[in-house]
Structure 1
Amino acid sequence: MTPLEAIALVETASAEELFGGDDPARQYRRLARLTHPDTAGPGGARAFARLAELWHSRGTIRSPNGRYSTGQKAFEGDLANLYRIPEGHLKLVRDPSCNDLMAREAKALRRLAERGDPRYLPYVPRLVDSFRHKDAGLVRRANVIAISAGKPTHSLAEVQARRTDGLDPRDAAWMWRRLLVALGLAHRAGVVHGAVLPEHVLIQADDHGVILVDWCYSAAEPGERIAAIVPRHRDHYPPEVLAKETPGPFTDLAMAARLMADLMGDRAPQPLRRFADGCRLASPRQRPDDAWRLLAELDELLHRLYGPRKYRPFTL
C-alpha cells in the first residue's frame, strides 16, 4: 500500500472497517506510518489526525446523551445488529434505507411510555436513547433499549426449536396470557405492534415474564400502515397487512393466536384450537379487536380445561 492509498482509505473508511481484523494494533501502526507527514508529506496530516481519532473512538459510537460500545455483539436482528451495553442493548441498523423503521420503534416506545399503564410497562422495552450515527458518509439510526431486569430471556423461536413435538398447552397458557397483556397495553396507547412473531416475543421462564420486542414494524398513528414485513414469516401476516390496508388490534391478536397455535402444535386441545382459529378469520371485522376482553375469554376457557390457575415451572 502506498501513502496515497493509505490516505484515501483512512479518509473514507469507518473504524470498524479499518480495525476489524485480527490485529487492529498492527493495522493502526502500519497506517500511521504511511499517513504520517514525515512519510506522506503535508498531504497526510489530515488523514493522520483522522486515523488517531478513529483509533481512540473504535468500538464506540456517541450521541448527545451518551457513549455506547459496539464491542460486544449480542445478535443480529431482522434490521439491526444489537450490542450488549450496561444500559441494555444498542440497536444499530445495518442498512440506512431502514432508518425509518428504527424511527418507528422509537416513536412507538415513547408513546407506550407516555400513555401506557405503568403496571404493564415491563412487558415492553424501555427506550433509553435514539439518535442518528454518521460513519464513513453513511447516516444510520440507532436505538438504545432496555428490558425489565430478571432472569435470562429466550425467544419463542428458541422455545419452538427446542420443543419440536409441541409445547404443553398449560405452558403455552401463561405465555399467551401475558402476550395479551402486552398487546392490551399497546392498543390502549394507540399502538399496533405489527409483527407478533416468534423472534419478537421473549420469555423469562422462572418468572413467567413476557416481553414483546422489536417495534420497528409498528403503527402508532390513525390510518398508518405496516411499513414492512419479515419476508421469511410472510405466511404469519393477516390479509390486511399484505394488502397494505389499515391494521388494528385485530391484526396483532391474529398473529398472536397463530404464534401460540404453532407453539402447541398437535398438543393443543380442540377448544383451544378453535379459540385460536376464531382470532384468525380472514375478515378483520369478524376477529376479536380487544386484547383485554380476549384475555378474559381465554381465562374462562383455560379454567374450564384445567381448573384454577397455579404456578407451573417451565424449563427449556
Structure 2
Amino acid sequence: MSDFLALVCPQCGGALPQQAAWRRVACTYCHVLVTRNPSLVERSHFQAALRRQAAEHARLNPEFVLEGAPCRLIAPLGSGETASIWQAERLTAYPERITLKIAHDASGAAQLDAEAQHLQNLLARDGPGSAYYSRRIPQLVAQGQYQGRRVLAWRVPPGYWGSMAAVLRNQPAGIRSEHAVWIWRRVLDILGYLHNNGLAHGALSADHWLVQPRDHGVMLIGWRHLHSAEPTDAAHDLQQSAWTIRQLLNPSDTEPPALRADLPAPLADLLASASDYAWCRSTTAPALDALLKDRARQAFGPPRFIPFSPHSPTHF
C-alpha cells in the first residue's frame, strides 16, 4: 500500500489539490499561490534575472565593431606570448560565435597580420584536395581593432572543444595510446597536403592542435609560422609532430619527452624513429602515416572507435 500524502497550505492550513506537488496553484481558502516543487521559477522572475545577467555581461564586455558588425566578448580561452584568445559573438541578424585573437602589442599585431595573410593564401588555393582541406583550417571572419589592439577573428568550427594543451591540463598523466594514433594521423593528413603544396606549418606544439572529441577531428592553428617548405622544413614538421605526440602520452619538460613505459613496442619504436630529424628527412607525411597505420594494427588489432573525453581519461 502506497503512502498517502496530504498537501496543506503553509499559510492557512487548508487542503491543497494534488497539482500543488508539481505546479503552482491558488489556495481555495486564502488564495495564496503555493507549490511543493522547489525548482519551480516564475517566468517573470526568470526573465528579470536573465535581463540583469545580460546587463551585467554587457557592462563588463561592451560591444565593439569589427568590419561593420557589432561584436561582444564572451569568455577568455587562453593567452600566449603575442596574443590572448577569446570566445566572442557577432551580433548580426544571425548571431555567430567566433574565436577572437587580440594582440598584446605592435609586435603581436604584425604577427596576426602575417597569420591572416597566410590563411587567406592557403584558402585561395584551388588545387587537388583544396576543398577538403579548406575545412580543416581556420576560416577567417574579420580583422580589425579592439580597444586599440589588433584583432583577428575566425569562425568557431562545430564540435571543436579546445587545444590538446588544454586536454593535458585535465589529464596530467597523458592520454591513452590508442587516442594518440588517430590524433597523429589527423595531423599527418594535413601535413601531407601542406608539404605537397610546398608549404610547412612550422609550429606543431600541443596548443596549436584543436581537438573535436565526438568525431575524432584535429584542426591546426598557429599559422603565423607558415612558410615555403624545403625538404628540411617538411622533416622538421614531422619531427615536431612526433615530439608532440610523445608529450601527449607522457607530459614532461624533457626534449623530446620520454617514451611512456607501457607504450606498445610497435608504436614506441615508430615514435623513436620519427623523433630523429635525419630519419624524418628520409620519409614523407603519407609514408609515415602508412607506417603508423600498420604499427597501430600490430599494437591494438583491427581499428575500433574509442570515445575520447577531453575532461578525463577513458579506461575500459
86, 90, 97: which is aligned to 1:83?
86
Does the 8 Å CA contact 1:112/1:186 hold for their aligned counterparts?
A: no
Question: Which deviations, in whole Å up to 9, do the C-alpha atoms of 1:76-102 show, x marking residues without a partner?
Answer: 234212232234112111111222211
1:145 and 2:154 matched: yes
* Distance (whole Å) between structure 2 residues aligned to residue 200 and residue 286 of structure 1: 21
Partner residue in 2 for 1:309: 303
* Distance (whole Å) between structure 2 residues aligned to residue 288 and residue 112 of structure 1: 26
After TM superposition, the score normalised by the length of structure 1 is 0.64
Deviation at 1:174, TM superposition (A): 1.0
Amino acid at match of 2:204: V
Partner residue in 2 for 1:254: 239
Q: Alignment length, in residue pairs?
A: 233
- Range that drifts further, 93-102 or 81-90: 81-90
Identical columns (%)? 27
Deviation at 1:72, TM superposition (A): 4.0
Partner residue in 2 for 1:270: 265
Distance verdict in 2 for CA 1:293–1:262, change over 3 Å: same
Higher RCO (Cα < 8 Å, 6 or more apart): 1
Does the 8 Å CA contact 2:236/2:277 hold for their aligned counterparts?
A: no
Partner residue in 2 for 1:121: 134
Deviation at 1:201, TM superposition (A): 0.9
Question: Which deviations, in whole Å up to 9, do the C-alpha atoms of 1:1-35 show, x marking residues without a partner?
Answer: xxxxxxxxxxxxxxxxxxxxxxxx9xxxxxxxxxx
Does the 8 Å CA contact 1:186/1:193 hold for their aligned counterparts?
A: yes
Structure holding more helix per residue: 1
Does the 8 Å CA contact 1:90/1:143 hold for their aligned counterparts?
A: yes
Unaligned runs of 5+ in 1: 1-24, 26-55, 224-245
Partner residue in 2 for 1:3: none
260, 275, 279: which is aligned to 1:280?
275
Amino acid at match of 2:304: K
Deviation at 1:247, TM superposition (A): 5.7
Q: Which has the larger radius of gyration?
A: 2
Partner residue in 2 for 1:170: 178
1:192 and 2:177 matched: no
After TM superposition, the score normalised by the length of structure 2 is 0.64
1:59 and 2:62 matched: yes
Q: CA RMSD in A?
A: 2.9
222, 228, 232: which is aligned to 1:214?
222
Amino acid at match of 2:174: G
Amino acid at match of 1:268: L
SS of the aligned residue for 2:201 comes to coil
* Distance (whole Å) between structure 2 residues aligned to residue 176 and residue 220 of structure 1: 22
